[in-house]
């Protein structure tokens, strides 16, 4: 009976949006805390950042950022890999073609099965899996994997992400039940959480209740922030512009929270921190040419 009562109490935790009512302040104090936290776990830091594009959704800038024109914008579906000397961490998990078809809304869109297969291999060998938020193109690669049990036990999900997947998933295919909660590394924190040498999670609700950004400092000192879906393009951050109003309404975003995040990310240019925007397919190739990103996941 004691075990049943205890489990029930744990499940109640997932019905609240946050342990803390106070809004997160995105400023230099937060950045200093992140940098300090990145040194709190001892060990060798990541030596490089890799990524792959496993699908594409043709859009326009007018459908991507407020005030954008009708020129084409390819929304890349990506996953990232932090490569450590003897291990790796995956940031986001890809998705199967059935989930990908949801985003096409009846239209066939490019899907690269071999790339998604490589993501599954990288997830299998990873020591940890970080999910930036609870949408299908970021989390389905774990939830719907043939190796779900093996992947779930090393996947970090916040309480807010789990709450969404339990009660308001983006699509039925992403819904989990209460018995699955124990499968994940479930975490709750106010603003930041260290999870590996040089790696810090940053709470960033707005796009979804469970959105996070990920800070990484490599062994060479280079700093990155993976921005998730705070913006769908670097243009949105550069110009501090949100998504179009119809997209904000469709997704159910909190524009007030996102504006704080956009302003903060924009201010980090002077800090020489490299931002990595998940769905970009314009800036990323230039980062590859500069050696800031490496294309293709490292499979051992």
pLDDT of res. 5: 34
Q: What secondary structure does DSSP assign to 252-276, as a single string?
A: T--HHHHHHHHHHHHHGGGGTPEEE
Q: 1 near 9, Cβ under 8 Å?
A: no
pLDDT of res. 11: 46
Q: What is the mean pLDDT of each run of 10 residues along the chain (300 residues)?
A: 38 46 88 98 98 97 96 96 98 97 89 98 98 98 98 98 98 97 97 98 98 98 98 97 97 97 96 96 96 97
pTM of the complete model beyond 0.75: yes
The residues, any chain, with a CB within 8 Å of residue 146's CB and separated by 6 or more, are none
pLDDT of res. 105: 80
pLDDT of res. 2: 38
d(CA 34, CA 221) in angstroms, rounded, equals: 14
């Amino acid at each position: 009976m004691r075990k049943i009562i205890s489990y029930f109490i744990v499940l109640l935790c997932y019905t609240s949006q946050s342990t803390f009512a106070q809004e997160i302040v995105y400023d230099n104090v937060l950045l200093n805390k992140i940098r300090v936290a990145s040194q709190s776990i001892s060990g060798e830091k990541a030596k490089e950042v890799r990524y792959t594009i496993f699908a594409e959704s043709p859009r326009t800038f007018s459908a991507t950022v407020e005030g954008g024109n009708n020129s084409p914008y390819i929304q890349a579906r990506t996953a990232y890999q932090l490569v450590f000397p003897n291990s790796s961490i995956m940031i986001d998990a890809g998705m199967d073609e059935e989930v990908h078809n949801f985003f096409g809304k009846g239209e066939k869109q490019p899907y690269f099965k071999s790339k998604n297969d490589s993501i599954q291999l990288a997830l299998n060998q990873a020591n940890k899996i970080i999910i930036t938020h609870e949408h299908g193109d970021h989390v389905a690669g774990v939830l719907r994997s043939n190796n779900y049990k093996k992947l779930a036990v090393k996947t970090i999900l916040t309480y807010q992400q789990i709450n969404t997947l339990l009660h308001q998933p983006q699509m039925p295919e992403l819904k989990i039940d209460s018995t699955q909660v124990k499968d994940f590394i479930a975490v709750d924190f106010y603003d930041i959480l260290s999870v590996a040498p040089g790696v810090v999670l940053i709470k960033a609700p707005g796009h979804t209740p469970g959105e996070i950004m990920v800070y990484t400092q490599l062994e060479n000192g280079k700093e990155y922030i993976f921005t998730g879906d705070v913006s769908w393009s670097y243009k949105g951050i550069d110009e501090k512009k949100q998504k179009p109003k119809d997209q904000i309404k469709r997704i159910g975003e909190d524009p007030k929270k996102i504006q704080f995040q956009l302003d903060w990310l924009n201010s980090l240019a002077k800090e020489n921190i490299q931002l990595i925007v998940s769905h970009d397919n314009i800036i990323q190739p230039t980062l590859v040419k500069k050696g800031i990103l490496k294309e293709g996941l490292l499979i051992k």
